[in-house]
């Protein structure tokens, strides 16, 4: 099961919508998942507990993962664009 964390600045509106979109795209791709949403600040401190972090492109550099971490980060230009998310998941090796 893929553990996913989605985050936005405050962890409320955008991340909730992104959570729904992410769950839908992963389901479409046949990937069993759990998706949680939060703020960027909280995501930075809990990133190591997840397989995948999905955030806006502007937040990708906020994460400092430990060397050897298996957690991957996907940055999106448009948080609501399901096609972009699907493409990035495929590029990241999460789907064929």
- pLDDT tens-place string over residues 50-87: 999 999 999 999 998 888 889 999 999 999 999 999 99
pLDDT for position 13: 86
Indicate whether 96 belongs to any domain: no
Rounded to whole angstroms, how far apart are CA atoms 2 and 33? 5
Q: Which domain holds residue 24?
A: 2-91
- pLDDT tens-place string over residues 31-47: 999 999 999 999 999 99
pLDDT for position 42: 94
Residue 23's domain is classified under what CATH number? 3.40.50.2300
Cα angle 72, 57, 10; round to 5 = 95
Indicate whether 75 belongs to any domain: yes
pLDDT for position 73: 96
Number of other residues whose CB lies within 10 A of the CB of residue 2 = 15
Q: How many domains does the structure of the chain reveal?
A: 1
* b/e 49-66 (16+ beta carbons within 10 angstroms → b): ebebbbbbeebeeebeee
């Amino acid at each position: 099961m893929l553990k996913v964390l989605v985050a936005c600045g405050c962890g409320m509106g955008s991340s909730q919508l992104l959570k729904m979109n992410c769950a839908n795209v992963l389901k479409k791709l046949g990937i069993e998942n759990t998706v949680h949403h939060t703020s960027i600040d909280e995501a930075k401190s809990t990133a190591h507990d997840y397989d995948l972090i999905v955030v806006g492109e502007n937040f990708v550099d906020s994460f400092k993962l430990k060397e050897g971490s298996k957690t991957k980060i996907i940055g999106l230009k448009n948080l609501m664009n399901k096609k972009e998310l699907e493409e990035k998941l495929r590029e990241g090796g999460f789907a064929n």
